[in-house]
A and B are shown apart, each in its own frame.
Chain A
Amino acid sequence: MSWIKDIMNPETRLWEEFYRNRWQHDKVVRSTHGVNCTGGCSWMVYVKNGIVTWEMQALDYPKLETGLPLYEPRGCQRGIVYSWYIYSPLRIKYPYLRGVLMDFWHEARASHPDPVEAWASIVENEEKRREYQAARGKGGFRRAKWDECLEMIAASMIYTAKKYGPDRVLGFSPIPAMSMMSYAAGSRFLQLFGGVLLSFYDLYADFPPASPEVWGEKTDVAESADWFNSKYIVAEGSNLNMTRTPDAHFVVEARHHGAKLVVFSPDFSQVSKHADWWIPINAGMDGALWMAVNHVILKEFHVDRQVPYFVDYLKRFSDAGFLVRLEKTENGYTPGGFLRANCLERYRDTEHGEWKLLVFDRRSEEPRMPQGAIGFRWQSENGKWNLELKDAEDGSEIDPQVSLLDQHNEIVQAEFRDFGNERTFQRGVPVRRLETTEGPLTVATVFDLLMAQLGITRGILGEYPSSYDDEDAPYTPAWQEKFTGVGRATVVQLAREFATTAEKTKGKCTIIVGSGVNHWYHANLNYRAGITALMLCGCVGVNGGGLNHYTGQEKVTPAASWSTLAMALDWSRPPRLQNGPSFHYVHSDQWRYEKAFPDFHPREGPFAREHFMDLQAAAVRMGWLPFYPQFNRNSIELAREAKAEGKTTQQEISEWMVDQLRSGKVRFSIEDPDSPENWPRVWLIWRANALHSSAKGHEYFLRHYLGIQSNAIAEEVAQDCLHEVQWRDAPIQGKLDLVVDLNFRMDTSALYSDIVLPSASWYEKDDLNTTDLHSYVHPLGAAVPPCWESRSDWDIFRGLAEKVSALSRVHFPSPFLDIVTTPLLHDTPDEIAQPKVKDWSKGECEPLAGRTMPHIHVVERDYVNLFHRFNSLGPGIKQHGVEDHGIEIPVGELYDEFAKTVPSYEWNGNRYPSLTDVRSAANAVLFFAPETNGEMAYRGFKERERQTGLPLADLAEGQREIQYSFDDLIQQPRRILTSPCWSGIVNNGRAYTGYAMNVERLVPWRTLSGRQHFYLDHEAYRAFGESFPTFKPRISLENTLNLVKSPAAAQSLVLGCITPHGKWHIHSTYSDDLRMLTLSRGVEPFWLNDKDAREIGVEDNDWVEAYNDNGVIVTRAVVSARIPRGLCIFYHAPERTISIPKSPGRHHRRGGGTNSVTRMRLKPVLIVGGYAQHSYRFNDYGPPASDRDTYVVVHKLEGKPEWD
């Protein structure tokens, strides 16, 4: 055939050089993308003629153990187009300042030599303030000079600190893990100043509250390679192909190794393609299906037949055998609190006896107190906080009876609640009668109560279901059908396959779960239902098993050392750390648009409130949750006043402050949040899209924070439900004096800010990156210097620190005191502070700082030397060591050793390790982290040995010499070491899986019992009916208040609106990238079912309007048979800056984004504190800002889209 030519003629083929030349490049540099995707992928960036040309994945991950697939290449369609941004027309090359404000500033500076006075002259003039606020988001940016921008920001901060207090200055940057030094730059600066840092994990509703509920842990999950070890994988609310793109192959490969993949997803999602079973469950109803699975597992694998592995697992690693008091009621009994050890004569005098629990021992036929409960953690005697099944008094072996059915004194009828049908049931439970110090008590095991809760009869009298086909009785396979739409036979088979696999493999079943389940209001219940199945089958803490929740790249692997630097703990403590959801719920006034709780709530007792806002205020008052601003007074002035009244010590000032609060002379800001002295004032945003994709209830942000028009039309309805919080009449708007955004692209938040500072992008700076999805640490590297006038975050905040220090010579010339409140914290003795809920403000107990109310600390600040402090690693790290998960790892002489390896920084006559260069700072993180320095790991394990009395240091014995530096990471990503701060064991290339250390090494979970909890006995959980795993349906349309003012129009449909993570962006990043827009629809479209679309006359690619009381979205429709009827998908969270027309239905103003139709709702049980695992820790605990229970009206846009 003539067309196959052996053309070797060099002349004829010389043209081939054309493409060879195109491929040529000058340099290749390792970096990654600092974006919230959990990928954490190592990329090689190609540079040609000093210009970044493209990127390709790195291929040099250190290998895991034999038999596991390789990690590389990691990196997805989004990552590979990052280089487009660098030189794109969206790139922010210079500082920008909005024209109106710039003119005011120039004018003010001309008449005020002092910048702070200049700032005062603007913000104290209400007319000017309103004028520049009103211009926000409406164009009119002007190129500005770095110096004037930094000066204005510093002036606004100093003004605010002087006038209102430093806790009116806030900062937001999410996901430190994605570029942790850039995060640390701003947080370190803010904490030295006394500003407030807002959390992200709970704000995004990515944080799974079930995790602390069950395990006392924020999140601890397997790396993706461990999926391959699994033999039964259920993926729900997690569209692996889309959102775990570089990891998805492990699941696909596991299938070829014999694993089954079951996908729950209302739409035929991308991962469904890989499923053996695709289950199109009704959105938000996953919990009902799992409850039925639990019903079958309990019946067939715990009653009809007992699996020794399962029973043994429950005894050792769960609260199944712990005794619960049954409280007598009118009709019988109701499950109460755990029986406490000090109720028994035998254990009456044990230390912290009310924080130690009891089991019923098969051998002695008596209640016994096993080691490991939280009381053992905080008692004076060390070494008994472990999971050995021994009596803590005499060391005798204990064999806990999981069920008392064979050894009961009596069967009593107890009351159980069904929220699916809003009914109660009386069901028989086997109990023991015990003589206690409180008199005779009736107790049952958690397991027996769980049996009753789930309706497993065992021949006991009571309102038990007749069979699996009993449609009325929760939680039968037939019952769940009406919620999930999934047939009973499928559920039964799923349960059998799941449990059989677990039995045969000793727990290798996993649930991979994410935001699709977690973003609902009842996320915690949806999760606990699934976790229950995992616990019943012994799957947690096993390679290939467990609940693997991924959403939000939250795992800062070297957290102990990083948080020391990031929170400036080397200079001052404690930091001001605020849970984001409460902050925005309160300050952006979303509470004003909410009525009573949208679901079941108690009518009496301490939780009987009408409005969440009252509970929120109580939570702050009682020390459960943080809240800033703290008081209606300036915290600096208060300290000054205390001093003036002769209070000098920490203790005296704290007590003085308690008196001020008790007497009402000073009020918590939360109690009157709309009063101007309680407003937040200056907001620094970096690495974030805080005003848009992170802004649940975006339209309320626009109105109340920024002071501009909003497309929300919801009514303010809270007033009549409030009792403990001051209502102020509308309009409350424009709370913020200054919004500053550091950015490399003109995203929505930048567009709406007052000042935009050009930041170096991810190929222009050095940084560190970690994730849950793999076990490596790798760097961001500067392939080219920061482009145009951009600067790295580290350098921007250093620049700002320098300005603040300079201006402080006049305004804060010498160090001063600042009163700082913090809530009761997890992993500290605070978690045994409140055995009972008592409100000091109601006279139920004494106000005691750090016990019945927040801690009150006094912190010395030194603004003049703030810059020096930023630049130097302070002595605090040497003195206090580093801490994570309650392990304080001593640093001591390692500080001096480190000092020799990095440049030094000298001030005030002292030399410190220098942090002026971000690489030095990164090296400090790596040097003091147990995950990257074997010696630190060894020391940490020694500390854990002391606490638990268990041998553990052998896990680090062979790695003491290992120490990674930034240069090492540039050479090759490095695998983390087994660390006492985490629960996985990764020695010898073993895949990381959560809680392996608990199961294999008997380290307790950080919970009340020290075990995994089926049962949560806190009063709030009992009051709201969530003590047991249970099911509550999604919030009804009526209760969402979504469509009160937005009735359905002609040719329209009301649809549930879900916002899963999309294919062409990571949140908003990449959504404006030309490559992604080209491969998608050129705009973020609205997906709806083909039959639904036909019903309202919408064809594919038509423009549609989707609205509710919160706001409006205008975009194009994608019509597809893969979307279920009644639901629409608007993938989270495109910019509202790209191809968005105006809304004819809402005042002809620009259509919004995903968060334009949301308003956040916080869940009451998740606010409680001071009680074991129910204790606050930043980003690790608190009520998530759920937003998924949302409905919209959709119709075809009339006429042509309006643009201008």
Chain B
Amino acid sequence: MDVRAQVSMVFHLDKCIGCHTCSLACKNLWTDRPGTEYMWWNNVETKPGTGYPTLYEDQDQYCGGWGLEDGKLRLKLGSRPTELVNISFNPRLPTLDDYYEPFTYRYKNLIDAGPGDDQPVARPISMITGEEMEIEAGPNWDDDMSGSPIYAENDPNLQKVMNEEERRRFFELQQLVYFYLPRICNHCLNPSCVAACPSGAIYKRGEDGIVLVSQEKCQGWRMCVSGCPYKKVYFNWESGKAEKCILCYPRLETGQAPACMHSCVGKIRYLGVLLYDAERIEETASKPDSELVEAQREIILDPFEPEVIRQAMALGLDKKVIEAAQKSPVYKYVKQWRLALPLHPEWRTLPMLFYVPPLLPVTATLSQQGHYELEKDFFSSLESARLPIRYMSSLFAAGDETMVVAVYKKLLAGRMFKRAETVGDIPIEKAAQALEEAQLTPDEVEDIYHLTALASFDEMFVIPPMLREVAIEMGVDPHEFQEERGAGFVQLPSRGL
């Protein structure tokens, strides 16, 4: 048992309000430099929709992630030898059109325009060419179902699980629905970006599992961009190197939640350490589609189990990290409560960001006169909700509907139970029955409710101590570091670089 620690995340999609504050916190801190304008390490997608870069989920086109060949894991992009042959030709890269041409405006015209005969205006200009341009795409182009006939209707997941007639009905007001899917790098256990890099520039930090692209070693081959099925590695056209979400390690190292999580106004995000068995990664990632979700749960170790603790300590994990793992909200959501699921587990990267799927309104019918009548459920049920279960399972369970249904049963039963408890117009017996069917106890409901609704920052983000003094000590005595370099040491100064 090779016990390791992974900083992992849960995004509670029921709580997501789609505000994009997360994306902007990230943009402000990390990617407003030349070469990074189009990078959105954190972005929020409307689902159904085509995402960013557009249609990134279509691996027939992009060949990201892993496939199974004779039961063995293989990069879909091809193995390394082929890759080296193709090294200067990478047909699986998204083009600028799949992202967008970054733009700004001739703002100064508003102040500087000479006297004229009409109001001056600030026209859009390309950040690449500096020329006037027509804006045809952006990083969030199909937000809130904008352009639904072009985007939402062509969501690859929807295409996969619904026939044309079903899709048509889906876009009528009786069924119409959308929700938000915020995405950052999944800091996968089995990252295909790392495997795809010809230069060995990408690594997963041993102490916390954060996947980084070394800005020293990167040669700009962009195989990582193709290799990552989530398209969460970007190429900086100014520096010629790949960059990606760093899970705000400078903040984590100082005990602060990543910027996107800190700034999450919907309070949907949770972060904590998971202990896992690194020996079983390959085995886990090689399971058949239908077993992937469960296998990924299996690889996560129980931080309370004495054998796990003993082995972890033997491998050099600090006791404080193990304690953090015991308090991890991610462990609760993923392993204990089985409420959070990985995005596209069939890509086999073992993503370490998990999602609680959203509850959505009930469906309706139109009367003959065209009046809108709602289904009668007080809240909603699996039958009445605008929940295309097949669609959800295509996102979060490699098509396994039972996984998603199990989660929804719990979410719905929890609400019924709280209703019965706090109002009483739903009989407590009925709520208890729902709990039983969902395999939940009242105590669990209370714990889930607490973490969902009442948790403080400290409960939502259980950041393990990063023991920076130990890391620094490997190169220089921390006392010396404090005296000679300390926080003032600046390798690459200030914003703009």
Residues of A within 8 A of B263 (CB): 56-57, 73, 75, 80
A1122 contacts B176, C-beta separation under 8 Å:
yes
B425 contacts A253, C-beta separation under 8 Å:
no
Q: With A and B bound together, what is the CA distance between A268 and B175 in angstroms? A: 11
Which stretch, A138-146, A791-799, A850-858, touches the partner chain B? Answer: A138-146
Chain B's interface: helix, strand, loop or mixed, by majority? loop
Binary contact readout A95-112 vs B (1 if CB under 8 angstroms, 0 otherwise): 010011000000000000
Given A23-B250, A23-B251, A485-B372, answer yes or no on A18-B491 (Cβ-Cβ < 8 Å). Answer: yes
Residues of B within 8 A of A486 (CB): 371-372
Closest to B489 in A: A17
Residues of B within 8 A of A258 (CB): 415, 417-423
Closest to A90 in B: B107
Closest-CB distance, B157 to chain A (whole angstroms): 17
Known: A1063-B143, A1136-B121. 18 other contacts (CB 8 A): A10-B472, A22-B30, A22-B492, A24-B487, A75-B265, A80-B28, A88-B107, A248-B265, A249-B15, A252-B17, A253-B15, A258-B423, A277-B361, A1072-B122, A1090-B148, A1120-B145, A1120-B148, A1203-B121
Say whether A467 faces chain B, with CB atoms less than 8 Å apart. Answer: no
Q: With A and B bound together, what is the CA distance between A8 and B468 in angstroms? A: 11
Most buried by B among A255, A268, A270, A1079: A1079
B264 contacts A73, C-beta separation under 8 Å:
yes
Say whether B54 faces chain A, with CB atoms less than 8 Å apart. Answer: no
Say whether A379 faces chain B, with CB atoms less than 8 Å apart. Answer: no
Rank and list the top 7 A-B pairs by shortest CB-CB distance, nearest first.
Answer: A10-B475, A6-B206, A140-B115, A139-B113, A487-B373, A258-B418, A1082-B135
User: What are 24 A-to-B residue pairs whose CB atoms are below 8 Å?
Assistant: A3-B203, A8-B207, A15-B215, A16-B249, A19-B249, A23-B248, A70-B457, A73-B267, A77-B24, A80-B24, A249-B17, A252-B14, A252-B15, A256-B414, A268-B173, A268-B178, A274-B14, A277-B362, A1122-B145, A1122-B178, A1136-B119, A1139-B123, A1140-B121, A1203-B123
B452 contacts A140, C-beta separation under 8 Å:
no
Q: With A and B bound together, what is the CA distance between A258 and B449 in angstroms? A: 10
Given A17-B489, A23-B250, A241-B18, answer yes or no on A1082-B121 (Cβ-Cβ < 8 Å). Answer: no
Binary contact readout B85-96 vs A (1 if CB under 8 angstroms, 0 otherwise): 000000000000
Most buried by B among A141, A504, A1124: A141
A504 contacts B423, C-beta separation under 8 Å:
yes
Residues of A within 8 A of B176 (CB): 268, 1121-1122
B119 contacts A751, C-beta separation under 8 Å:
yes
Task: Report B's interface with A, CB cutoff 8 A.
Answer: 4, 14-15, 17-21, 23-25, 27-30, 102-105, 107-108, 110-124, 135-136, 138-141, 143-150, 152, 171-173, 176-180, 189-191, 194-195, 202-207, 209, 212, 214-216, 246, 248-251, 253, 259, 262-267, 278, 281-282, 358-362, 367, 369-374, 376-380, 414-415, 417-425, 449, 452-454, 456-457, 471-472, 474-476, 487, 489-495, 497
Closest-CB distance, B400 to chain A (whole angstroms): 25
> A59's contact among B27, B212, B424, B457, by CB below 8 Å, is which?
B457
B380 contacts A276, C-beta separation under 8 Å:
yes
Closest to B475 in A: A10
Residues of B within 8 A of A231 (CB): 419, 422-423
Given A138-B119, A256-B414, answer yes or no on A1082-B138 (Cβ-Cβ < 8 Å). Answer: yes
B250 contacts A1, C-beta separation under 8 Å:
no
Residues of A within 8 A of B248 (CB): 23
Residues of B within 8 A of A138 (CB): 115-120
Residues of A within 8 A of B250 (CB): 19-20, 22-23
Task: Report A's interface with B, CB cutoff 8 A.
Answer: 1, 3-12, 14-24, 48-49, 51, 53-57, 59, 67-70, 72-77, 79-81, 83, 88-90, 92, 96, 99-100, 135, 137-141, 228, 231, 240-241, 245-246, 248-249, 252-260, 263, 268, 270, 272-280, 481, 485-490, 493, 497, 500-501, 504-505, 746, 751-752, 1063, 1072, 1074-1075, 1077-1083, 1085, 1087, 1090, 1100-1101, 1118-1122, 1124, 1136-1142, 1149-1150, 1203
A81 contacts B453, C-beta separation under 8 Å:
no
Given A1139-B105, A1150-B119, answer yes or no on A1121-B145 (Cβ-Cβ < 8 Å). Answer: yes
A245 contacts B206, C-beta separation under 8 Å:
no
Closest-CB distance, B25 to chain A (whole angstroms): 6
Q: With A and B bound together, what is the CA distance between A500 and B172 in angstroms? A: 32
A751 contacts B173, C-beta separation under 8 Å:
no
B449 contacts A257, C-beta separation under 8 Å:
yes
> B373's contact among A490, A1074, A1082, by CB below 8 Å, is which?
A490
B124 contacts A10, C-beta separation under 8 Å:
no
> A56's contact among B140, B259, B358, by CB below 8 Å, is which?
B259
Residues of B within 8 A of A96 (CB): 111
Given A56-B259, A89-B108, A273-B178, answer yes or no on A1080-B195 (Cβ-Cβ < 8 Å). Answer: no
Closest-CB distance, A906 to chain B (whole angstroms): 42
Q: With A and B bound together, what is the CA distance between A83 and B25 in angstroms? A: 11
Residues of A within 8 A of B360 (CB): 273
Residues of B within 8 A of A56 (CB): 25, 259, 262-263
Residues of B within 8 A of A1072 (CB): 105, 107, 122
Closest to A94 in B: B111
A18 contacts B203, C-beta separation under 8 Å:
no
Residues of A within 8 A of B251 (CB): 23
Given A72-B457, A481-B371, A1121-B171, answer yes or no on A249-B278 (Cβ-Cβ < 8 Å). Answer: no
